[in-house]
Copies of this chain bind each other. A is one copy, B any other.
Amino acid sequence: MATHGARGRSGGRPTLEEVAARAGVGRGTVSRVINGSPRVSDATRAAVEAAVAELGYVPNTAARALAANRTDAIALVVPEPETRFFAEPYFSDMLKGVGAELSETEMQLLLIFAGSDRERRRLAQYLAAHRVDGVLLVSVHADDPLPDLLAQLEIPAVISGPRSAAETLTSVDSDNYGGARSAVEHLLSRGRTRIAHITGRLDVYGAQRRVDGYRDALRDAGHEVDEQLIEAGDFTEEGGARAMKLLLERCPDLDAVFAGSDVMAAGARQALRETGLRIPEDVALVGYDDSAIARHMDPPLTSVRQPIEDMGRRMLDLLLAEIADRRPAASRGLERPQEVLATELVVRASS
């Protein structure tokens, strides 16, 4: 084995120092050029850039992280098992948005699943080691301790979908309430009156807001809300099917269903089919998310479009801003933005 001192000498990767020597300048100047500081003359900058190119210099990330106390990496944390991640288009769309925005920067994205207890413990350790500069947290349940852990460790974080109306972290969300309203109003306008609702997991704030929107839309149109027409799902296809069956048993006269997600709508469709009911003739069906599933369903599914990719982009923007903010002046305790993006009803053959 090479001796310690000789590690990285000749043959190894070039260092800042070597670039500096080659360009005939000091270390500080090379560092300034590498980091895009404006305080360098054009001639010097050109000389340094030439030396960098000749030597094929690439900064050592570990050294930089150690000296500058940052990692240039952020994590996308999914507090779900991997299976759900792949089953739900929501996550992949989010990842797409974040990835697109991130490729504009030098930052590195880490995808971390925290579905099991074991994975959670691993993540906590990971965060405690400050291996990332910030965290994007998607799909958080009301009682999740993760946001508080992040706050305690003072790690910048942005959450998709606040945990409650009193969320303290920066968050980006779509207008769940308005989206649900528009879905129900659409069904009402089609002459449906016995409109059922399959909810998402009610420990997800957004799912609750959709129920609120469902209720208010009916009420404002002068209908009473029949609690028998509301059944809790869990965002899975099986859950959607199960809820649909229960609803059909309880209320055989229902003429429309608003499902809290496209995946659950797919489950509901399956249950309706098995019962011999036609969509939309017998029962109109509306989903939520406007994912690929909605377009490919038979019949194509009317759905509330959430701009998930945009949400991902926006989350990243806010996170990067928060990370940058922290660096110069500790201006803590300021108001944290809660952004809400508009939804849009996409009408297709299912309603």
Contact = CB atoms under 8 A, between A and B. Distances in A.
Contacts of A59: 129
A150 to B, nearest CB: 15
Given A58-B129, A60-B129, A82 B111 contact: no
B111 A99 contact: no
A56 B129 CA distance: 10
Contacts of A95: 82
Contact of A1 (B7, B56, B71, B329): B329
Contacts of A96: 82
Interface string A43-77: 00000000000001011111101100101000000
A108 B119 CA distance: 12
A86 B119 CA distance: 22
A86 B95 CA distance: 11
Interface of A: prevailing SS: mixed
A32 interface: no
23 contacts: A1-B330, A8-B69, A56-B128, A58-B125, A58-B128, A58-B129, A59-B129, A60-B129, A62-B62, A62-B63, A62-B65, A62-B66, A62-B71, A63-B66, A65-B65, A82-B92, A82-B96, A82-B99, A86-B86, A99-B113, A103-B119, A108-B131, A111-B111
Number of this chain's copies in the assembly equals 2
Contacts of A328: 1
A105 to B, nearest CB: 11
Interface in A72-123: 82, 86, 92, 95-96, 99, 103, 108, 110-111, 113, 118-119, 122
Given A103-B122, A108-B110, 9 more contacts: A1-B329, A8-B69, A62-B62, A62-B63, A63-B66, A65-B65, A65-B66, A99-B113, A110-B110
Nearest to A327: B1
Contacts of A1: 328-330
B130 A13 contact: yes
Contacts of A7: 69
A298 to B, nearest CB: 12
A72 to B, nearest CB: 10
